Amino acid sequence: MRLLLFSILALFANSNIYAQGCCSGGAGSPIAGGAATGVLQENQMEISLNYQFNQSDQFYTGDVKSTPLFENLNSNYLFFRTDYGVSKKLTLSIATGYYLKKSLIETHNVDTTSASGLSDLIILPRYSVYNKNANFKRTEIALGIGIKIPLGAPNDSSISIPKSSWAPGYPANDIYQMNPPTVQTTSGSNDFMFYSFFYREYQKRKLRLFVSTLHIKKSFNSLGIKFGDYTSVGFFASKTFFRKWGVTTQIKAERIGEIQAAENIDLLGFYSIDPISTGSKKWFFIPQLSYSQNGITIFATSEIPLYQHLNGTQVGSKQQFTVGINYRFFTKECEPEFELKK
């Protein structure tokens, strides 16, 4: 029962990134913080909590900076994740995230649209298809298939005309307008996730090299909007120093497809989304510093854009910082694989 409660409370999370157009928003990778992982040992659990800050005021037409269409887009996000080693080969990951605040500022802190709330629930099992340890080298290949289920709504609204602005004699009611997708806490669709992980460790050198891929197959939400499919490939190198300090560098390539509309849905007229200004291709450099002791790891990471090509005119990526803590432990004592004969 205690294990079940841990699994429900420590939910794995979603990290929405800015893409999909200046007024269209859209969710990207659901994984925030920490490096890519394979599978845990049997009965081993990892709990992770981190905070992520995202901010951008840069616009691009293709790969050229262009005139801003609004002042700033930013978010403050909490990420909660748990992984559990069901067996030596199978690890179950469950997660969610919560936006403390997600804001679009049009001009000088005036006409600000903000939202907060839960994002998505993600269930992502990972299975080890190959694991070999020999000659102080370890190689692992893991695959995963998961789902993303929205916990929030894609049609939250904000007050556009407060009742206090009405002249005497007029109905004193607030007038609401639906927030743009960039300020929604979820895309609102049920999506499939496909994950792969290749890992190579050189134990004597305390050096680790690995590659991870993630593809999210999006579906239509209740508004008749299908956000573009997301694909990313990450190339990692990690090394331990002084037994407790770790440095990880990553080069990540990602692609987000264009937004699509269901039949009879006018994206521009209904939701102020220009489909031409959706979709992107980007490259990032992501350094990470970590400190580990007694199963606890504290880490900090930053996502630095190297190249970005955005369809049409969109807000691009600029600043993303993450700090977090992981705790890894066994839920019960390890049993020996054999007993010595007396």
Over residues 49-59, the pLDDT tens digits come to 999 999 999 99
Over residues 209-236, the pLDDT tens digits come to 999 999 999 999 999 999 999 999 999 9
Over residues 35-44, the pLDDT tens digits come to 557 899 999 9
What is the C-alpha to C-alpha distance for residues 170 and 176, in angstroms, rounded to an integer? 16
Q: What is the pLDDT averaged over residues 194-223?
A: 94
| Residue of higher predicted confidence among 271 and 286 | 286
Answer whether residue 311 shows pLDDT above 70: yes
Query: With contact defined as beta carbons under 8 Å apart, do 254 and 317 qualify?
Result: no
Q: Is 241 helix (H, G, I), strand (E, B) or coil?
A: strand
Query: With contact defined as beta carbons under 8 Å apart, do 80 and 11 qualify?
Result: yes
Answer whether residue 4 shows pLDDT above 60: no
Answer whether residue 190 shows pLDDT above 80: yes
Query: With contact defined as beta carbons under 8 Å apart, do 235 and 251 qualify?
Result: yes
Q: Is 96 helix (H, G, I), strand (E, B) or coil?
A: strand
Write the Ramachandran bin of 139: left for phi over 0, alpha for psi from -120 to 50, otherwise beta: beta
- What's residue 158's pLDDT? 75
What is the C-alpha to C-alpha distance for residues 259 and 26, in angstroms, rounded to an integer? 9
Query: With contact defined as beta carbons under 8 Å apart, do 76 and 146 qualify?
Result: no
Over residues 323-339, the pLDDT tens digits come to 999 999 999 876 655 44
Q: What is the pLDDT averaged over residues 145-174?
A: 77
Q: Is 320 helix (H, G, I), strand (E, B) or coil?
A: strand
- What's residue 24's pLDDT? 35
pTM of the model: 0.85
Query: With contact defined as beta carbons under 8 Å apart, do 49 and 330 qualify?
Result: no
